[in-house]
Chain A
């Protein structure tokens, strides 16, 4: 009985290997055939999708320091789709590490308000990095959002698509919301936004446009 079973299993393994080999050989043959046809008449190449960020002014190259409640710091970057394919779902997520009081709003009795980020784009014009004025149309791509809510990607609401070679000029607005704390004899409150730091890792992401069928 055992010998019969072993023989049965061996046959199944052999069958599986044989079947897999057949699929491999067949698949290779099929695609080889297709490739041969293609190479005989035309050249196909896969498209690329390359997203890059360049500082426009200080951009991300300089740290933001000595922020006070209510302060807003505008920085400018240009996103470029340097690939050959158009993209969609252009978005941003931010991973924040550092002081929790700057990442998450306090829960009563704590009153700390975390940093917020807003993303604006300028279409049909350029940003004046000194004045923060867009000479074209200003679009709110991502409304003011606290850091804790930025862990999930937010897709640009106005211009989420980038054609191949196209750019998106952005104003990244970092704000410490207005809030008050009183220090006594130089001692900061137990829960405070003062003298705290956080590192923001901006991750811009884009996806290729849905595949299209072309007849020609």
Chain B
């Protein structure tokens, strides 16, 4: 109790001195604060049916046995924020028992107009983009953000068993514009 009183008295005295001292005994500092938000874009595609909504799952197409020419319309959908300069579709084909040997060759085509989803016919000019039996197929066509590129996939082969082709859409940094410097 007594010591507290003593301490209080001394603190009071010292505070009094502190308030009387000129301010120049401290170092002045001045600050200014500003905020800015940074948001990154993203690059992403999905693959699905010609008119289907984007879905984040592989897209499966079944080819029937003993049918000579079969078509499928698939859409590569750009769901990212960047306009893509190309797209990549990775695909594999397998029989129902999982056998991946001797897969069918698939032809990928684009249409300058639009594809008829019933007849699989193009209203404009068809452009053959290439063919492959599997692996990564590079679609060298631009796809604007929030747009889709519909391709016709043709299986010319007369397969003797049902095959299921699994399509996956892959997007990487090299699929859109190079880095830029923005100044404003």
Q: A65 touches which one: B39, B45, B57, B176 (CB < 8 A)?
A: B39
Instruction: Tell me the B25-48 residues at the A interface (CB within 8 Å).
Output: 27-47
Interface string of A41-70 (1 = CB under 8 A from B): 000001111111100011110111111111
Contact (Cβ within 8 A) A102 B36: no
B119 proximal to A (CB < 8 A): no
Contact present for B38 and A200 (CB under 8 Å)? yes
| Closest chain A residue, CB of each to CB of B82 | A68
Cα distance A74–B39 when bound, in Å? 15
Query: B18 to nearest A CB, angstroms?
Result: 10
Tell me if A27 is interfacial: C-beta within 8 Å of chain B.
Answer: yes
Q: Is A174 positioned at the interface, with any CB of B under 8 Å from its CB? A: yes
- Report if A180 contacts B (CB, 8 A): yes
Instruction: Determine whether the beta carbon of B43 is less than 8 Å from that of A205.
Output: no
B56 touches A186 (CB 8 A): yes
- Count residues of chain B with CB under 8 A from any CB of chain A: 60
A21 to B10, CA, bound (A): 9
Interfacial chain A residues near B13, Cβ < 8 Å: 16, 19-21, 23-24
Chain B nearest CB, measured from A108 CB (Å):
19
Q: Is B58 an interface residue (CB 8 A)?
A: yes
A13 at the interface (CB under 8 A from B): yes
Question: Do residues A13 and B6 form an inter-chain contact, with CB atoms below 8 A?
Answer: yes
CA distance in complex: A130, B181 (Å): 11
Shortest A83–chain B CB gap in Å is 7
Select from chain A the residue with minimum beta-carbon distance to B31: A205
* Chain A interface SS verdict (over half): mixed
Q: Which residues of B contact A79 (CB under 8 A)?
A: 32
* A206-B184 CB under 8 A given contacts A20-B9, A66-B81, A195-B41: no
Q: How far, in angstroms, from A187 to B3 measured CA to CA in the complex?
A: 69
B172 interface contact, C-beta 8 A: yes
Q: A31 to B25, alpha carbons, bound, how many Å?
A: 15
- A128-145 CB contacts (< 8 Å) to partner B: 129-132
Q: Please tell me if the beta carbons of B173 and A57 are within 8 angstroms of each other in the complex.
A: no
What residues of chain A lie closer than 8 Å to B81, measured between beta carbons? Answer: 66, 195
- Could you tell me the distance in whole angstroms from the C-beta of B7 to the nearest C-beta in chain A? 9
Which of A6, A179, A205 meets B173, CB within 8 Å? A179
B54, CB-defined interface residue at 8 Å: yes
Binds A, one of B63-71, B97-105, B163-171: B163-171
- Complex CA–CA separation, A44 to B121 (angstroms): 91
What is the interface of chain B, defined by CB distance below 8 A to chain A? 2-3, 5-6, 9-10, 12-14, 16-17, 20, 23-24, 27-47, 54-58, 79-82, 168-174, 176-184
Beyond the given pairs A68-B41, A70-B178, 19 more chain A to chain B contacts, judged by CB atoms under 8 angstroms and listed by A's residue number, are A16-B9, A19-B13, A24-B17, A47-B28, A51-B30, A59-B34, A65-B39, A68-B43, A74-B182, A81-B30, A131-B183, A178-B179, A182-B170, A185-B169, A186-B44, A195-B39, A201-B33, A202-B34, A204-B34
In the complex, the 5 A-B pairs of residues with the closest C-beta atoms, listed nearest first: A70-B179, A20-B13, A194-B42, A9-B2, A66-B41
A-B contact pairs, 24 of them (CB 8 A): A9-B3, A13-B2, A16-B9, A49-B29, A64-B37, A66-B39, A67-B41, A69-B173, A72-B182, A75-B184, A129-B183, A183-B80, A185-B45, A186-B169, A194-B44, A195-B41, A195-B81, A197-B40, A200-B36, A201-B34, A202-B35, A205-B29, A206-B31, A208-B28
